[in-house]
Structure 1
């Protein structure tokens, strides 16, 4: 090989290496920008999710607190009047209003947990209203009291599941 051919091949090799390095640098910059954008997107999604989850948990906790005594003591038979029923309905509606925000914030696992809590909240209110209607009618009263105990415990368990799902969703860094 003569010196001229060697010089041309050397220049060609240098050009290919320069182009390859430029392409690799460009790819690395694009990848870095994509990672940064993804990280920023996740951060922007986390804050609204956090707020939606926090507000929903507050309402679900109100429902749990209202039903707590019914989920602990089977012999508990306090007076049930329209004022108490109205309170339960108010708490149920507040819970469902906050649930919409959580459903929109996602992700799917959290949405499923919210839908379950909404269903249980409605069932708790229905069970409570039915209990009010059968007070003094044994054995119906005992059976409805037992149903209230089961629903209250089921709601408590579903609330714990929601909290754990929400925590996992907030901790997800996308990796």
Structure 2
């Protein structure tokens, strides 16, 4: 009888060992699948954010062209070097920039995170103010006071843009989990 019990106990230990190994293997495979899914999700989110941020930055080209049109004002602070045609061209570029930012802001807002979306909103608002300020000077010769106001608005756009780039770069450079 002792041999029978020993055989049953041996078989039971073998079955339990096999079951234990199966449970451990299942747990490890399940954990690996979860980790892989998290890594894949993080990579997709990073790619979506990158695309949203890059599309938002399409407006930068238009802002830069507008600043080139009013470069004499930016460099010297003297509105005398700016003609009506340059103002008109600058306003057109700012309108295109505002349109681009408007179209792409929602993508940034959706892609997140909140701190980048807030920075994008600051850029959008600064460009809208710059556009409004330039448009209000489209028909009259540019006075010193209006020139200072426009320069202040241009600096706000540059500062908001720099902050957006800093925030976006920080998110994109974070290591994935």
TM-score of the pair, normalised by structure 2: 0.76
Tell me which moved more, 105-114 or 74-83. 74-83
Q: Is the 8 A contact 2:94 2:127 kept in 1?
A: no
The alignment yields a C-alpha RMSD, in angstroms, of: 2.9
Q: Is the 8 A contact 1:71 1:149 kept in 2?
A: yes
Offset, 1:130: 2.5
Pairing partner for 1:157 from 149, 152, 159? 159
Sort the Cα spacing of 1:58 and 1:35 in 2 relative to 1 into closer, same or farther, 3 A.
Answer: same
Sort the Cα spacing of 1:66 and 1:15 in 2 relative to 1 into closer, same or farther, 3 A.
Answer: same
Sort the Cα spacing of 1:12 and 1:143 in 2 relative to 1 into closer, same or farther, 3 A.
Answer: farther
Q: Is the 8 A contact 1:64 1:155 kept in 2?
A: no
Equivalence map 1:1-175=2 (5 Å): 19-67=19-67, 69=71, 70-77=73-80, 78-80=82-84, 83-84=88-89, 85-132=91-138, 135=141, 141-175=143-177
Runs of 5+ consecutive residues of structure 2 not aligned to the other structure: none
The alignment of Structure 1 onto Structure 2 pairs a total of residues equal to 170
Q: Whole-Å Cα distance in 2 between the matches of residues 55 and 76 of structure 1?
A: 33
- For residues 4-26 of structure 1, what are the alpha-carbon distances to aligned partners after superposition, in whole Å with 9 as ceiling and x for unaligned? 99988887777666555444333
Runs of 5+ consecutive residues of structure 1 not aligned to the other structure: none
